[in-house]
């Protein structure tokens, strides 16, 4: 059997995609996989903050079109880039096992955010990270940054920033974990929905490809991200909304789901969490949604959307 992978061309995207391919080949004797690199809008636009670029599928749309045109058979994405509504005709083929979902600090010469002097410039293009940074470390200054992981680290090393905030998963996959100076607990910096997770997308009617990809599926990861994405969908949130959701297995057969919505300045953060059976992520997500709504999260989101209109 021969399949064609569709992937973005960044170092991280290639690392992630080729890991998936190597695992699928290991699990499927005789499988051959070709590769097609596809440039997305998110790869082309580098000089505009992500929150202002807007639009669904910033890093996925062109790969979706390649799948629907049958130029490629499957595509690998970072799950946090995947819109909550799939393109008609496409389906999630599998969720590979998650790696560390936490955010990390990479700082020049210092070990933690708390050790940085007042006014230090912290590079991040995420409104979620910016809002939590303003709330937890008000003396520090969030500074907009774009580009792939290598570009952000280079800008840090050149002295344009005192530290940058990144996903631990990306550094792990690139073999750059040694650059990390602080790992931020979810209580301090709640991760993005789906952070640390990959997702493999294929055509819904291509059962042969879906069946091959399914061999790499991890059900625990799938349940966690289902709960997270359900909360995000209810909030109708994207990169224009400072919001996060993170679910993790706890105890015996249970899951802890945490979520937040914040104002842009971090002055107001609405938080909710719930714990329950891992086999029922929908009910757990609903409990969190209700608690967020009770605290005024939807009004906060509507106000944030007004800021961007």
Whether 79 and 225 have beta carbons less than 8 Å apart is answered as yes
Which position among 43, 47, 73, 81 bears the catalytic label? 81
DSSP 8-class letter at 160: S
Element (H, E) at 290: helix 281-294
* Interstrand relation of 103-107 and 182-183 (parallel, antiparallel or unpaired): antiparallel
Whether 77 and 63 have beta carbons less than 8 Å apart is answered as yes
* Interstrand relation of 198-203 and 90-94 (parallel, antiparallel or unpaired): antiparallel
**Tokens 């997305």 -> residue:** 40
- Count other C-beta atoms under 10 Å from residue 305's C-beta: 13
Nearest to 275 by CA among 267, 285, 265: 285
Active-site annotation holds for 64: no
Nearest to 125 by CA among 147, 104, 154: 147
Nearest to 197 by CA among 173, 231, 164, 165: 173
Whether 157 and 115 have beta carbons less than 8 Å apart is answered as no
**In 5-117, where does DSSP find H-type helix?**
11-27, 41-44, 50-53, 61-68
Q: Alpha-carbon distance 41 to 52, whole Å?
A: 13
Q: What separation in angstroms does the CA of 13 have from each of 7, 130, 134, 198? A: 7, 24, 30, 10
Which residues participate in catalysis according to the annotation? 81
């Amino acid at each position: 059997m021969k399949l064609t992978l569709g992937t973005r061309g960044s170092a991280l995207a290639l690392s992630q995609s080729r890991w998936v391919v190597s695992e699928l080949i290991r699990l499927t004797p005789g499988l051959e996989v070709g590769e097609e690199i596809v440039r997305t809008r998110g790869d082309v636009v580098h000089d505009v903050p992500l929150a202002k670029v807007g639009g669904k599928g910033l890093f996925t749309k062109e790969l979706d079109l390649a799948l629907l045109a049958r130029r490629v058979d499957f595509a690998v994405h970072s799950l946090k880039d995947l819109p909550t509504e799939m393109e008609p005709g496409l389906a999630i083929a599998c969720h590979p096992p998650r790696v560390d979902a936490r955010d990390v600090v990479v700082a020049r010469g210092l070990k933690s955010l708390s050790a940085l002097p007042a006014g230090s410039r912290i590079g991040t293009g995420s409104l979620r990270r910016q809002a939590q940074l303003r709330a937890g470390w008000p003396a520090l200054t969030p500074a907009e940054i774009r580009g792939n992981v290598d570009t952000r680290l280079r800008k840090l090393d050149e002295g344009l920033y005192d530290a940058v905030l990144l996903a631990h998963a990306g550094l792990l996959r690139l073999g750059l974990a040694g650059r990390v100076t602080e790992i931020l607990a979810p209580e301090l910096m709640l991760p993005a929905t789906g952070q640390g997770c990959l997702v493999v997308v294929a055509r819904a009617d291509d059962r042969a490809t879906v069946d091959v990809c399914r061999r790499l599926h991890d059900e625990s990861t799938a349940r966690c991200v289902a709960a997270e994405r359900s909360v995000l969908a209810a909030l109708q949130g994207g990169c224009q909304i400072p919001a996060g959701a993170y679910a993790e297995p706890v105890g015996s057969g249970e899951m802890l789901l945490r979520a937040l919505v914040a104002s842009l300045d971090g002055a107001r953060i609405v938080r909710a969490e719930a714990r329950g059976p891992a086999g029922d992520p929908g009910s757990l997500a609903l409990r969190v949604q209700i608690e967020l709504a009770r605290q005024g999260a939807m009004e906060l989101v509507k106000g944030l959307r007004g800021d961007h209109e």
